[in-house]
Amino acid sequence: MLAQGLSDTELTTHLHPAEATVKTHVARALAELGLRDRVQAVVTAYEAGPVTPGTVARNT
């Protein structure tokens, strides 16, 4: 969902944790993947294939 461009608030709506928890997880994921920011995460996801144009996040 991060790679689909969802904000922390939108992630909170879909996943139901506190927004601070989402921010922590996003920061850790970016660090673990060696990515600078969300934009780089989106580009990496498109290049790797798990996200395609028109993909919509679903409430899981």
Q: How far apart (Å, rounded) are the C-alpha atoms in residues 35 and 44? A: 9
Neighbours of 54 (CB within 10 A): 5
Q: What is the CATH class of 2-48?
A: mainly alpha
DSSP state of 4: G
In this predicted structure, what is the pLDDT of residue 51? 73
Could you tell me the residue ranges of all domains in the chain? 2-48
In this predicted structure, what is the pLDDT of residue 58? 58
In this predicted structure, what is the pLDDT of residue 57? 59
Q: Is residue 60 pLDDT above 60, yes or no?
A: no
Q: 2-52, pLDDT tens digit by residue?
A: 888 889 999 889 888 888 999 999 999 999 999 999 999 888 888 888 777
In this predicted structure, what is the pLDDT of residue 33? 94
Nearest alpha-carbon partner for 6 in 24, 20, 21, 26 = 26
